Structure formats: C-alpha cells, structure tokens
Amino acid sequence: MFDVYLNDRRDLLVVRKGLPIPPADVSGRWRKKKRAVSVSEEISRAVQKQGYYMRKIKPLQAPGKR
C-alpha cells in the first residue's frame, strides 16, 4: 500500500506504492526500505491529502547520554 524511503540525513519519506518520489520538496538520495511496513493513520491521511509524508527521524544517541 505504501513505499517507505530513508535518506542519508535520516529523513523518512512515505508515498503510495508505485508512485514516484515527489520532485522539488523532497530532493536527495533516497533508499527504499525492502521489507513491508505498516504506517499510522496520521501518515496514511497525510499521504492521501498531499501525495506523500516526510519527516526527520531523531538521530541516535550514544548509550548513557541524555
């Protein structure tokens, strides 16, 4: 139902399955996730409304740092 992509800056992009990556707003080098994933209702509604959903994923913290 959805294709999920990640890029080098740890951004997340979700588009409808089979559709191309939107051009200007989300330029960059995207890698498609190979396994099937489910998405939340919020993400599903955003994809229906604007054709894609994109957000930054928080960077990983080293163990012990807060």
| Predicted confidence (pLDDT) per residue in 11-42, tens digit | 889 999 888 888 756 667 889 888 877 889 99
Domain membership of residue 62 (yes or no) is: no
Do the domain assignments include residue 22? Answer: yes
The pTM of the full predicted model, rounded to 2 decimals, is 0.75
Residue 22: what pLDDT?
A: 81
How far is the C-alpha of 27 from the C-alpha of 23, rounded, in Å?
6
Q: Is residue 19 situated within a structural domain? A: yes
Specify the number of domains making up the chain. Answer: 1
In a domain, 45, yes or no: yes
CB 2 within 8 A of CB 40: no
The residue range of the domain holding 45 is 2-56
